[in-house]
Amino acid sequence: MGRLEGKVIVMSAAAQGIGRAAAIAFAREGALVTATDINEEKLKELASYPGIKTRVVDVTKRDQIEALAKEFDHVDVLFNVAGFVHHGSILDCAEADWDFTMNLNVRSMYLMIKVFLPKMLARKSGNIINMASVASSIKGVVNRCAYSTSKAAIIGLTKSVAADFIEQGIRCNCICPGTVDTPSLRERIQARPDPEQAMRDFLARQKMGRMCTAEEVAHLCVYLAADESAFITGTEQIIDGGWSM
């Protein structure tokens, strides 16, 4: 019997990185996972895993989220993962960068929760997990202005939802990783003027001498999705190898 046996899980950004690792870990524990992303090609790789079905959904589009929600009688766990990293201080951040970041990182979670929460309330049972970051209200990080602002908003959104619906059987927590070795992190390093130096800089700030793996974050995702964490709500779960201590 898996730790998530029979749980219906809907999640975003499942095609790669932390989302992909979490989708696989959820399914391995017996969950029925609907893995969504905008990257249809990469998403296809997940379709062969037992327990995972895939859907192409842009989480910034309300109509696409509503169409997805129509497929479900009930959802046990909603896992909002989609996010984008803008590199730079406030002076490097054009209005378009700011708006793009807030739209993808924060407004998408607002939309997903607004659409799926009523299904959870109807059964007085639901579990929402949002992907934040320690680069947020937890830690000031150089060149992460728009990103950290958006992730701090996700912590606020998480606590707000948790407080509003705790008496109706809803839990809401967020995950705050440090630096996780994912394809997008590798792309960000490659995009720097000196990628080798950028990699050295990323490693130099790791107090444990290495980055987190997506699989390590997935372990925490499984715990938060499982009934083992039933008494945990309104929290930010830090997984950063001591970076923010």
Ligand X SMILES: NC(=O)c1ccc[n+]([C@@H]2O[C@H](COP(=O)([O-])OP(=O)(O)OC[C@H]3O[C@@H](n4cnc5c(N)ncnc54)[C@H](O)[C@@H]3O)[C@@H](O)[C@H]2O)c1
**Where along the sequence are the contacts to ligand X (CB under 6 A)?**
12-13, 15-19, 37-39, 58-60, 81-83, 104, 131, 133, 177, 179-180, 182-185, 214
Q: In terms of CB distance, is 182 or 237 closer to ligand X? A: 182
User: CA 75 → CA 35, 68, 79, 126, 238, distances in Å?
Assistant: 13, 11, 11, 7, 25
Residue type, 134: V
> Cα(190)–Cα(231) distance, rounded to whole angstroms?
42
CA-derived radius of gyration, the chain: 17
Q: In terms of CB distance, is 17 or 51 closer to ligand X? A: 17
Smallest gap from Cβ 168 to ligand X, in A, equals 27
Smallest gap from Cβ 60 to ligand X, in A, equals 5
Q: How far is CA 220 from the centre of its chain?
A: 12
Q: In terms of CB distance, is 4 or 220 closer to ligand X? A: 220
Smallest gap from Cβ 6 to ligand X, in A, equals 26
Q: In terms of CB distance, is 76 or 236 closer to ligand X? A: 236
The active-site residue, picked from 49, 110, 147, 223, is 147
> Cα(153)–Cα(136) distance, rounded to whole angstroms?
8
Is 49 annotated in the active site?
Answer: no
Smallest gap from Cβ 5 to ligand X, in A, equals 26
Active site (catalytic) residues: 147
